[in-house]
Amino acid sequence: MKKLSSKEVLVIGFALFAMFFGAGNLIFPPSIGLLAGEKWKAALLGFSLTGIGLPILGVLSVAISGGSINSLLNKVGPKFALIFSILIMVLIGPLLAIPRTGATAFEIGIQPLFPSIGPVISSLIFFGLTLFLTISSTSIIDVIGKFLTPILLIMISTIIIKGILNPIGVPIDTNMTQPFSTGFGDGYQTMDLLAAIVFGGIIVDDIKNKGITEKNEQFKTIAKTGLIAGIGLGIVYGGLLYLGAAGSSVFPQGIEKVSLTTNITITILGHLGKIVLGICVYSACLTTSVGLTATVGHFFSNISKEKFNYKTIVIISTIVSIIISNIGVESIITFADPILKIVYPIAIILVIINVFDNLIENKKIYLGATIGTFCVSLVDGLSAMGVNTSFIGEFIQTLPFADSGFGWIFPAILGIILTHLITKLKENAFA
């Protein structure tokens, strides 16, 4: 039985880390730390579950299910698999994630260094480069990706280490009442669990291409690579979140996420830090944008059976991304919040159940869990949009864990139980 060498496992682990750690993820941990202040450890635990633990679990879950996004989602049903996979691709594509890379590139990479350049011009240049690199067969993006991650990590490590050795301030009491659930909920914004459902198939294919065909060995290999990626993400997120917490005595609550990250860097490294951060973030955003745009192009080209070719989809995706990116990072995050509150709990419950798939005889519980979760997550999402959910919303707030934002857990369990009982009753009725 073939096994990968430690070096090969390490390389895949770093690749998985790079997939999850986009430049946009730089802005979330500091803002959570700022909000949490002296309660930053509890916030870090919550953020780590959705920003690290669940994405790694998502990759493992895809491997267990059969190695693709469809193999996981088909357990609910083929129509659901099609709709949900399209939704995931739209969210990590032109609706949220890709526009956010353009907006982040402008606000961190361009605006601080070239204040005379506006967001429209910046987005046209950024997505023009994205379109060129996505459609062409050039290897420029491979070169950027190969050298970018180490440079970005060195820069971030420098900021974190110096920020810990010479703190910019001290964590203070910010009167946050639920740091864990806040960190957990803000982890949705990374969208890494949704991306993991896609990345899982890529990692499985890569391991198969290296000659690892035995299922058990594939799982062990992915678990090792996931551990490597998880440790890397944990160190980076933990360090950045602490810097934000230390800044709670320096920066005002309510400061925009991009401004906070930039100001922390300038405070620690001076003006040079702004230049280095801008260059690295811009390059990282461009790499992420190209990767996501290509993924979206291939996905929709395949499911349409080439009725919409790759180039057409990429062009449409780029145009939509240009438009949305101009509303700014904070507005994109605000816009994304209710959508992710609807979608994320469904992804979470499916991933968790699938980990125990070998122990589950009645596969219909996937549908029951999805329905139960959706009933609550939909109401939570609508409430976040400002829609009056009336007595339904009030009832949901009485459910276990609802006050912490986890009201969907009990209905998911109830959905599993009811589905199982109904299935058994039907089997006995026709026995």
pLDDT tens column, 173-214:
999 989 999 999 999 999 999 988 888 888 888 888 888 878
Confidence of residue 281 (pLDDT cuts 50, 70, 90): confident
pLDDT digits (tens, 9 = 90+) for 147-161: 666 777 888 888 999
Question: What token pair was written down for 100?
Answer: 């956010």
pLDDT digits (tens, 9 = 90+) for 299-322: 999 899 888 899 999 999 999 999
Q: What is the pLDDT of residue 45?
A: 95
Q: Which carries the bigger pLDDT value, residue 428 or residue 359? A: 359
Q: What is the pLDDT of residue 390?
A: 80
Contact 327, 95 (CB under 8 A): no
Residue 66 has pLDDT above 70, yes or no: yes
Q: For residue 26, how many C-alpha atoms fall within 13 Å in the half-sphere facing its CB?
A: 34
Sign of the Cα torsion 180, 181, 186, 190 reads: positive
Q: What is the pLDDT of residue 38?
A: 95
Contact 379, 316 (CB under 8 A): no
| Mean pLDDT of the residues in the chain | 89
Residue 383 has pLDDT above 80, yes or no: yes
pLDDT digits (tens, 9 = 90+) for 26-64: 899 999 999 999 999 999 999 999 999 999 999 999 888
Looking at the whole model, is its pTM more than 0.95?
Answer: no
Contact 62, 69 (CB under 8 A): yes
Lowest mean pLDDT among 81-90, 247-256, 385-394: 385-394
Identify the burial level of 8 via C-beta atoms within 10 angstroms of its C-beta, where 0-12 means exposed, 13-18 middle and 19 or more buried. middle
- Phi, psi of 37, rounded to the nearest 5 degrees: 60, -125
CA end-to-end span of the chain, whole Å? 45
Q: Which helix (H) or strand (E) holds 426?
A: helix 409-429
What's the per-residue H, E or C state across 183-197? HHHHHHHHCHHHHHH
Q: What is the pLDDT of residue 332?
A: 94
Residue 255 carries which side chain, given as an amino acid letter?
Answer: I
Q: What is the pLDDT of residue 219?
A: 85
Confidence of residue 146 (pLDDT cuts 50, 70, 90): low
Q: What is the pLDDT of residue 156?
A: 86
> Which is nearest to 224 in space by CA: 248, 241, 207?
207
Contact 240, 29 (CB under 8 A): yes
Average pLDDT, integer, range 284-298:
87
Confidence of residue 431 (pLDDT cuts 50, 70, 90): low
Please report, rounded to a whole number, the percentage of residues in the chain having pLDDT higher than 90.
57
Average pLDDT, integer, range 405-430:
87
Sign of the Cα torsion 10, 13, 19, 20 reads: negative
Q: Which carries the bigger pLDDT value, residue 11 or residue 296? A: 296
Contact 39, 47 (CB under 8 A): no
Q: What is the pLDDT of residue 67?
A: 80
Sign of the Cα torsion 255, 261, 264, 269 reads: negative
Lowest mean pLDDT among 15-24, 35-44, 341-350: 15-24
Average pLDDT, integer, range 100-129:
94
Q: Which helix (H) or strand (E) holds 351?
A: helix 329-355
Question: What token pair was written down for 52?
Answer: 């690290």
Contact 300, 313 (CB under 8 A): yes
Q: What is the pLDDT of residue 142?
A: 56
Confidence of residue 141 (pLDDT cuts 50, 70, 90): low
d(Cα 33, Cα 133) in Å, to the nearest integer? 36
Q: Which carries the bigger pLDDT value, residue 17 or residue 170? A: 170
